[in-house]
Amino acid sequence: MKQFFAFIRKEFFHVFRDKRTLLIMFGLPVAQIVLFGFALTSEVKDITLTVIDQSHDVNSQQLVSKIKSSSYFVVTEAAPGFNDIAGAFKNGTAKCALIFPANFGSDLQHHGRAPLQIITDGSDPNTAKTVVNYLTAITTAYQQEINPGKPLPYLIIPEPRMLYNEEGNGSLNFIPGVMALVLMIVCTALTSVSVVREKELGTMEILLVSPFQPLMVLIAKAIPYLILSLLNFILILVLAVFVLNVGIKGSIVLLFLESMLFIITCLSFGLMISNTTNSQQTALLLSMMGMMIPTMIFTGFMFPLENMPGVFQVIANVVPSRWYFLIIKAVMLKGLGFKYIWKETLVLLGMTLLLLAIALKNFKTRLS
Amino acid sequence: MAEKVIVCKELTKRFGDFYAVNKISFEVNKGEIFGFLGANGAGKTTAMRILCGLSHPSSGEAQVAGYDVYQQAESIKKNIGYMSQKFSLYENLTVAENIEFFGGVYRVPAAEIEERSDALLQKLGLTGEAKKLVGALPLGWKQKLAFSVAIFHRPRIVFLDEPTGGVDPVTRRQFWDMIYEAAASGITVFVTTHYMDEAEYCDRVTIMVDGKVEALDAPSRLKAQFNANNMDEVFYQLARGAKRSGD
């Protein structure tokens, strides 16, 4: 045991003296959280809208002022006779245009119906769709307002609610995703370097000649990273809760335990990489560059997995962060208990054992 | 009759149809300084790795410290020290931390570690540098420290793989003084080297050529046998027929 502690101590010294490693370990999560939390938001705000009002009546004025009062649009009213919508899209002065035909108000009052054209910049389809939705919603609301007490016959009014995230806070989906991504990359990358570094420096020979058990070498190498990764997890969680206002609905203990399992999965993966490569560069390239994109895509927080072709959905199943993402979403956002996530937990556990077995098998106790 | 601490019989290591070590046989006595000479690629490092339990032999027999290399590698590991040609200490650990770590790995009791490391630092004149990172020490000091760490747990045999590569002549001389001291205390020293002047310091030397032992005797007797003035000439006579060039 004393032998074991001597080893763990040594590993801690390595980590703390390597400023670059520490920077990756704690800088990356903070940077990612800030980037994903603030820069990469799916909400659409301050859309530039050009209003072309050929009718200039009470109704069109009322509708425009309603649009103006919502926080989503920056409205400019085009000069009479303005016709160059495509030009406005091209030079970026507008993202969408709203066109009232000449007899908008009178048609509405006399015929009970009036057309209204919305033109959006389809080169950005996501924003375009959101804009249409917003404008439709505002129009529908206005419609009901001018018809008080006499609801239109057979009118179906959808009343959508976003359960678990009523305000449409984009961080809610990103945070679990970023947690999965960051833990996956950081844990894997750091451990992947740890064994291979000793091979490169030549100190591995010394360890192999010593009576220290190979299995113990692996465990002792993983423990400091496990502790640091748990601290890292807490840091991310604190940032999420206090900076990005993402509440934790479920049990914190469960969240912590599941995260620990996931961290161990990643550490095993890192050890496996470390034992199968021969240079720190290869190991780092494999674990950071090689893992970053697949993890981002297949975790499912940026692009829904359900929309991917079948082959990719199958591939996604072998990415550990995908399962962890499901777990923390369930616990953090929906407040679910263990009985709803035991399957995902089992998958992670299985992966961990498999990765550890491969890592151990490839740990060369002899040089040739 | 001296106690035999290393016994090899027809020891062979084959990689495919390449015989890195080809049926070598020799015995090493307790407390002896046993030199292992050969050009690059002659097979000396491979042979040494087999004896340390880092590599399995293909055939032949070998016992180290009375234990069989096939069956009892773990027991061998407890009884040997090893210093490789690559640097054997952790550069980003301090002098004291390195000593503590290796003491811990070899299960030296904590009180002993403290006592012995104090004595060691004093002897090496490194007491003032105990808290310095090893990476900041000059190479000569690192090598002397590495040797001291390799024998810190008082092994029965210490294997040194080209320990003085790149070290200046004065430090090499001091390094050999340390080797003599270790041998006098009963530790058997098994050392590979390129330097022929160092071969003269050994009690007995083995010269390997193309995986085989071509000569084995005390330096003085080898010189007489090959009618040479120094070990350099002996080595040259034996090694010029080598088919394998450097690796």
| pLDDT attached to residue A160 | 64
Of A202-206, A337-341, B199-203, minimum mean pLDDT range: A202-206
For A80-111, write each residue's pLDDT tens digit: 777 788 888 888 888 888 888 888 888 888 88
Measure A195 CA to nearest chain B CA, in Å: 13
- The pLDDT value recorded for residue B153 is 92
Q: Which of B90, B108, B117, B147 is the best substitution to test chain A (most A C-beta atoms within 10 A)?
A: B90
Q: What's the pLDDT band for A169 if we cut at 50, 70, 90?
A: low
Q: Which residues of B touch A203 (CB under 8 A)?
A: 87-90
pLDDT of A139 > 60? The answer is yes
Residue A365: pLDDT band by 50, 70, 90 thresholds? Answer: low
Q: Which of A73, A130, A63, A151 is nearest to A101 (CA)?
A: A63
pLDDT tens figures, A324-333 = 999 998 998 8
Question: What was the pLDDT predicted at A55?
Answer: 86
| Torsions phi, psi for A66 (to 5 deg) | -65, -40
pLDDT for res A368: 46
The tens digit of pLDDT for each residue in A241-289 reads 888 778 888 899 999 999 999 999 999 999 888 888 888 888 888 888 7
Closest chain B residue by Cα to residue A366: B54
Q: Determine the distance in angstroms separating the CA of B60 from the nearest CA of chain A, rounded to an integer.
A: 17
Residues near A181 by beta carbon (within 8 Å), at least 6 away in sequence: A32, A295, A296, A299, A301, A321
**Is pLDDT at A354 greater than 70 in this prediction?**
yes
Cα(B161)–Cα(B150) distance, rounded to whole angstroms?
Answer: 12
Which carries the bigger pLDDT value, residue B67 or residue A122? B67
Q: What does the pLDDT read at residue B44?
A: 87
Contact list, A17 vs chain B (CB under 8 Å): 92, 133
A6 contacts on B by Cβ (under 8 Å)? 100-101, 103-105
**All structural domains of chain B with their residue ranges:** 4-88+158-239
For residues A185 and A262, the answer to whether their CB atoms sit within 8 Å is no
Residue B93 has its nearest CB partner, among A3, A10, A367, at A10
A13–chain B Cβ distance below 8 A for any pair: yes
Q: Which two tokens stand for residue A246?
A: 């993402």
Mean pLDDT of chain A: 84
Q: Does B97 touch chain A (CB under 8 A)?
A: yes
What distance in Å separates residue A354's CA from the closest CA in chain B? Answer: 27
**Residue A351: how many other CB atoms lie within 10 Å:** 21
Cα gap B73→A360, rounded to integer Å:
19
Among candidates A268, A287, A262, A265, which has minimal Cα distance to A193? A287
- Which pLDDT value is given to residue A166? 63
Contact A13 B97 (CB under 8 A): yes
Low-confidence ranges of chain B (pLDDT < 50): 246-247
Q: What's the pLDDT at B247?
A: 46
Indicate the residue of B84, B101, B102 with minimum beta-carbon distance to A202.
B84
CA distance A279 to chain B (A): 16
Is 70 exceeded by the pLDDT of residue A46? Answer: yes
Is A3 in the B-facing interface, judged by CB distances under 8 Å? Answer: yes
pTM: predicted TM-score of the whole model, two decimal places: 0.76
Any idea which residue has 């690192």 for tokens?
A: B142
CATH class for the region spanning B4-88+158-239? alpha beta
This complex has an ipTM of 0.83
Residue to substitute from B92, B98, B160, interface A, most A β-carbons within 10 A = B92
| Lowest-confidence pick of A163-172, A308-317, B83-92 | A163-172
The pLDDT score that the predictor gives to residue A259 is 94
Residues 118-147 of B with CB under 8 A from A: 133
List A252's β-bridge partners, or say none: none
Length of chain B equals: 247
- The whole-number pLDDT of residue B242 equals 73
Contact across the interface for A17 and B92, Cβ inside 8 Å: yes
* Separation between Cα atoms, residue A203 and residue A66, nearest integer Å: 72
Give the closest residue to A51 by CA, choosing from A34, A37, A35, A63.
A63
Out of A2, A205, A368, closest to residue B104 by CB: A2
